[in-house]
Amino acid sequence: MKTPPIVSQQEWDTALQQLLVEEKNLTHARDALAARRRRMPWVAVEKAYGFDGPDGRASLLDLFEGRRQLIVYRAFFEPGVFGWPDHACRGCSMVADHVGNLAHLNARDTTLAFVSRAPQPEIERVKERMGWLMPWYTITDDFDRDFGVDEWHGTNAFIRDDDRVYRTYFINSRGDEAMGSTWNYLDMTALGRQETWEDSPEGYPRTAPYEWWNWHDTYSSAEPAPEWVALTRRGVEAQSAPDS
């Protein structure tokens, strides 16, 4: 193993500052990509898809749970997949292990759901064993084939206008490696993080950055704590945009 050179603290600090320039460029590039995603055209979902869920039959619209946006990850857990019936696919299981607390996504009017072809009793058993808490439904029709996830994992984003559902974006392969955090999920949606600093089309929902953040068990509170609002506003004043 050929290791990098050993340097002084001053030399290390200089090298770090040089690399941080590239880090900032990457952050800005991600922001620009997310802005383009928010301008992607939508395609209407015309077919009526059905799923089995823990509470019985469910439509694609039901998977929204009343929220405006829906993110669906197609996980491979079913007969024929290595690990069945004790485990889902290793890669899909790693994705599931990285999913954060969904209360933060829900606070941005967005629902995350997993879907597979395994029956509900098997899904519930593996969820309990692995400590997974996300909603997880059983595919019963051509949903996976129609949305490009019948042979490989992938993440689809949808939005609804009343009862009309539209597909807005799709990520798969190594793109799924970044999934799991609230930020990356929101950045793939049509509405984004819904914060004022974002480059979004006119009329998109926006609130002040950081102020909507909350403890995951207190989002039901009507207003954010004034102490938190004051703190975040001081932070925003100290920088032009939350891009660090």
27 domain residue, yes or no: no
pLDDT of residue 156: 98
- Alpha carbon distances (Å) from 234 to 29, 77, 207, 211, 223: 26, 47, 16, 11, 18
Nearest of 115, 116, 138, 143 to residue 52 by alpha carbon: 138
Q: Are residues 118 and 170 in the same domain?
A: yes
CA distance 165 to 62: 11
Q: Are residues 72 and 165 in the same domain?
A: yes
Nearest of 162, 215, 155 to residue 186 by alpha carbon: 155
81 domain residue, yes or no: yes
24 domain residue, yes or no: no
Q: Are residues 150 and 84 in the same domain?
A: yes
Kindly report the CATH number assigned to the domain that includes residue 160. Answer: 3.40.30.10
Which DSSP symbol is given to 179?
A: B
116 within 8 A of 79, measured Cβ to Cβ: no
115's enclosing H/E stretch is: strand 110-116
- Our count of domains for the chain comes to 2
CA torsion through residues 164, 113, 174, 91, sign: negative
Q: Are residues 123 and 221 in the same domain?
A: no
Q: Indicate the pTM of the whole model.
A: 0.93
pLDDT of residue 232: 81
Q: Are residues 59 and 129 in the same domain?
A: yes
Q: Encode pLDDT of 132-178 as tens digits.
A: 999 999 999 999 999 999 999 999 999 999 999 999 999 999 999 99
230 domain residue, yes or no: yes
Residue 65 has which token pair?
Answer: 């749970």
Q: Encode pLDDT of 92-138 as tens digits.
A: 999 999 999 999 999 999 999 999 999 999 999 999 999 999 999 99
Q: What angle do CA 111, 132, 52 make, to 5 degrees?
A: 60
Residues in Cβ contact with 97 at an 8 Å cutoff, skipping those fewer than 6 apart:
130, 132
Q: Are residues 158 and 114 in the same domain?
A: yes
CA distance 162 to 6: 60
233's enclosing H/E stretch is: helix 226-238
